[in-house]
Each structure stands twice: as structure tokens, then as C-alpha cells.
Amino acid sequence: MKFFIALSFGLLLASCKKPAEETQQIQQIPAPEATIEAPAPLTESVVRINSTSQSWNAGQPWEKNQPTNLRSLGAVVGPGQVLTTGEMVADATYLELELPDGSQNIEAKIIAVDYEANLALITAKHEEDLETFFEKTTALELATPPSIGDAMQIFQVEDNGTTLLTFGTLQSVNMGGGFVPKQSFLNYLVKASMQSAASSFSLPVIKDNKLAGILLSYDSGEQISDVLSIDIISQFLENATEGSYKGFPSLGVAVAQTDDPSFRKFLKLTSDQGGIYVSSIKTGGAADKAGIKKGDVILEADGHPIDRLGYYQNDHYGSVFWGHLVRGEKATGEELILKIVRDGEEMNVTATLTREEAEDNLVPDYQFDRAPNFMVKGGLIFQELTRPVLEAFGKEWTARAPLNLLDAYENPEKYEEGIERVIFLSGSIPTPATVGYEPLRSLIVKEVNGIKIDSMKTLIEAFATPDANNLHSIEFLEENFTVYLDDTISNNVDSVLLQRGLNRLSRAE
């Protein structure tokens, strides 16, 4: 059997809306622009981190993309412990710690990582390296939360090993977006003019010679650094050093503002009530288990009144978006007391906060450190619907998404009953088994050989048994559309595909 393998199939995508106005500008204060060489004690508290990462190809899930290299500056925060971002270790195939002067390098491993908070704690991979490498370092203490207007320093190291401190000013706080979609944590906006000659992927931020934050991004035009707050870092480290990382909790709700007068009248809210509208509930989440319902209005959380835009008055920072009360001031397993209004009646509800993993969602928002599940049968390519797969459409993916897949991502409650994952036909390789099916793509699989498909494992099992005519019937959700695949021909095609370069035909892990 001879044929050409041409991988030409479309990928899909979806969108998610950013939370409505989560940034609170508090004040504008001029920042000093001085950069000085860091004192010796501080120099001993940072190490370089070198990472090689290799993600999986979203369109061809049987193979990986080209490796990429990242370099950052990590803070030594404990005996043999270095703090960095989650982005530095995502899909890492190799991690390395290096002293600032380049005199010693060791292989590293992950102690704990939280991709939602964009934090990771790493250490020496080999026990014998712990003492020899870290004997030359000193752990940084954690700073107390800074106040608006406080001076802060961004720590950099030039290629020649010279350490620099760039002075800046904390101008405001916000609930900034994290490394992965739909996640936000308390961030600082620091005004400072950084040295491009000492650029790095992420950097420690210092206050009073103590660690006050981790730089996540820098806008050279505005000279504004986005810095993850010490509040989030402290909670991460406390949780990570306990040995079993539980992660930041979630209430499991989506909310909307209640500033529209007509909407407030509909919700039976009085003029002196603030509150945020619960627009959806995560099935099985903390809010769902606590009895909160779609249509409720959250007025208070742990005694903190929430205004119509979703802000509360933090004792230290001032006006802060309400999400910090859940993902900043609470730990997984703790209780959150909510005052809600339902049909004009106020009541108190106690929710026990839980950790929501990406894999708990019908369509995961991110997928690091593990290979994607897929199946190729006779040239038909089946995949799990995930946001990384959707994002393979590129920068304009939200405008190019197939509507059915976009709907499954944005409205999972319509699809999730009885299924673990959305399995779809992403495209086909032209083969003797797929003649006439080449244009098919972005179709959600409903049944194969009469078996309901609820996961990739089920799909693989369903293809094991053709019907009496030696055919596989594949029924799609869209208009109950069905195609047929000859078992003998598809099996022959599968053998040729393996010979022609595919390293495997399926994965269900």
C-alpha cells in the first residue's frame, strides 16, 4: 500500500472573558531611577535558573515542538530551596541552578509548582549537590506587605556576574492575570527603569533587604513592572514546605457587576446594598456544595462588604478586588462565610473552599508536564478538547473558533453530563480509508460502534470491535452525522502510518 501522508487539518479554539475591571489604581508617585550594585549579602541570596522546555504539538499530538531555553534569577528562600515562576518549569525537560558568577552549575528538580499562581519551588536534583552548592548562599527573609508609595528594588544580574538593584516605587495593586487563563492573584505595579543589559525572564523584588515579590513582566514603554505580591508568595511557600502541596482554593463561581439600575431592581437590591451577581456555579465546587445558586448576590465575604463593582476594603492595601478574599487570604480547606441575598432576602452561607484542578474541568484551560491524549484511526485524528488545542489557531483564535467547540468550552454544563472529556475529530490524513472524509474536522464524537464516548479511553476501546460488516460507525453530535470506516483498510493504514514516522497511534493517560 502506497500513499502520501499530508497533515492538513484545522484546529479550533475558544475564548474566555476577562473579569470585569479588576485593576484598582490607588495613586501615582514618581519613582527613583537609580540603579546600584547590589551589596554582597544580597548577592549570596540569588541564583540563576536555566530551563529547557519542550511542549507538545497541539495539532500533531504524537510529537513535541522544538525545545526552548529560558533563563531567570531565582531567590533562595530556605535551605536548598529556590523560588521562581511556574512558567520557568512548565514542560521542563532539564532544570539547572547556577551561581551568579557562573562558578558552579547543578541539575535541579521541582519541589512544588502552582501554574495558576505562577510559582515554583525547586532544589538540587542530586543529594550530593545540596551542601556544595548552597553553602555559598544565604536565604532571603520574607518582607512584610509593602504599602503604596514604598520603595522597592528589582534584582538583576548582568552576564558578567555583576548584581544590580534598580529602585522603584509601588504605585498600585491589582488582581492581575496569571500564567494560565482565568486566574488572577494580588499583584503590585512598580514604577522603575530597568537595565535591558541585565534582562531576565523573572526577577526577585526586594524591600528592606527582604523578598517582597517576583517580577512577572516589564513594560519598557511605561516603565511598569508587574510583580506577584508577597501575600501570595508567603502562602505558596507555607503550603509547599508542608510536604503535600494543596494549592490555592476556589469558590467555584462566576460573577457579574450589579451597577446597572435596572438589573439591581430585578435583583431586588436596595440602594445601600452593594454585591456581585452569581452568573454561574461550578458543579461540585465549594459554592455548589454550600448551596449557593445562580442568581444569588454576594454582599459580604467574611464580614467584608463587597461593592457593586466587586471590590472590598483591604485593611492594608485599600480597595482590592474581592477574589483576594478567596485566593489570597484563605487556604484550601478553610471556611468562607458569605452573606448573600436571594429573592430580596438576606442569608448567611458557609462554604468550605476546595482546590479546583485544571483536570476537573470538562475542557481544561492548561495542560503542562503531561502528553495530550489522542487517537489516529485509519487517518482520522481524534483529540481531547483543551484550551491549548484551541489556542493553536494563533493570535486571532477567538475569532476563528468553530462555533460548536467554542460553545463546549464556554458552556460546559450543556455537555458535561455523563462525560469526562469532549472528544472531537480534529482532521484527517488523506489515506485509502479516509477517501471523501478529508474535509471533515472539528466534529464532536457522540458514539462509536454504538458506544457512548465519554473519554479518549472509551474511544480507543470502542474501536476494538467493528460491526458484523467489519465497519466502524462514528456518530457525531452535530445533526447526528455518521461516517463509516472499514476495519481492514484502516488497520492496514495504521501499520503504514507507523512505518512512515508516527511513533504511536494513540494515548489515553
pLDDT per residue over 217-267, tens digit each? 998 888 999 999 999 999 999 999 767 888 999 999 999 999 999 999 999
CA distance 160 to 338: 54
Residue 249 near residue 286 (C-beta atoms within 8 A): yes
Question: Max alpha carbon distance in the chain (Å)?
Answer: 79
CA distances from 318 to 24, 82, 313 (A): 9, 31, 5
Fold of the CATH domain 365-507: N-terminal domain of MutM-like DNA repair proteins (3.20.190)
Mean pLDDT over the full length of the chain: 89
| Per-residue confidence (pLDDT) for residue 16, from 0 to 100 | 32
Percent above pLDDT 70 for the chain = 92
From the candidate CATH numbers 3.40.190.10, 1.10.150.110, 3.30.465.10, 2.40.10.120, the one assigned to the domain spanning 19-247: 2.40.10.120
- The CATH T-level fold of domain 253-352 is Pdz3 Domain (2.30.42)
The cell 455523563 sits on which residue?
A: 418
Three-state helix/strand/coil letters over 198-212: HCCCCEEEEECCEEE
The answer to whether residues 15 and 406 touch, using CB atoms and an 8 Å cutoff, is yes
Contacts of residue 267, defined as CB under 8 A and 6 or more positions apart, other chains included, come to 258, 275, 277, 295, 297, 341
For residue 198, name the pLDDT band (cuts at 50, 70, 90): low
The residue to which cell 463546549 is assigned? 408
- The domain locations on the chain are 19-247, 253-352, 365-507
Do 169 and 152 contact (CB within 8 A), yes or no?
yes
pLDDT tens sequence across 331-348: 999 999 999 999 999 999
Q: How many CB atoms lie within 10 A of CB 467?
A: 12
What is the per-residue pLDDT across 423-453, written as a single tens digit (0 to 9) for each?
999 999 999 999 999 999 999 999 999 999 9
